[in-house]
Structure 1
Amino acid sequence: MAKALFGHLGGPTPGQLQETAALRRRITDLENEVLRLKVENDGLLAALREQVDLVTAGDLAEPLAR
């Protein structure tokens, strides 16, 4: 039924086609941004884990001061 209504109305207007193309570009841009942020986050987590490992190893090597 939706196809019949869509065909009956004559299809999308040029403005709708332009808006759809712009929205698709925006979605692609946002997906790329999410990917970039995930990579950056992974790097930050790895650096944090390294710092925690160093602090833990340093704490074990030195006696506690009282």
Structure 2
Amino acid sequence: MAKALLGYLGGPTPDQVRETAALRRRVSDLENEVLRLKVENDGLLATLRERVDLVTAEDLAEPVAH
């Protein structure tokens, strides 16, 4: 079955090798992007927690001026 998928004679074609390399690079790029976004998200969550900690019950009870 594997021979049918890769071709009966020889291994993968040069086009398949290039496509596999390109796909691996793309996966690596996407993994790096996910990591970057996680770090950014963690920073945003930390900032949000700091701001929420600064809000007091009195701040919440006061009416908002429009």
Unaligned runs of 5+ in 1: none
* Structure 1 residue 11: Cα displacement: 1.8
Unaligned runs of 5+ in 2: none
Residues 18 and 65 (structure 1), Cα distance of their counterparts in 2 relative to 1, 3 Å cut: closer
* Structure 1 residue 51: Cα displacement: 0.1
Give the helix-richer structure, 1 or 2.
1
Identity value in percent? 69
Show the counterpart of 1:50.
Answer: 50
* Structure 1 residue 10: Cα displacement: 2.3
CA distance in 2, matches of 1:13, 1:35: 33
Show the counterpart of 2:39.
Answer: 39
* Structure 1 residue 3: Cα displacement: 3.4
User: Normalising by structure 1, what TM-score?
Assistant: 0.75
Residues 65 and 17 (structure 1), Cα distance of their counterparts in 2 relative to 1, 3 Å cut: closer
Q: How many aligned positions are there?
A: 61
User: Normalising by structure 2, what TM-score?
Assistant: 0.75
Q: How much is the aligned-residue C-alpha RMSD, in angstroms?
A: 2.3
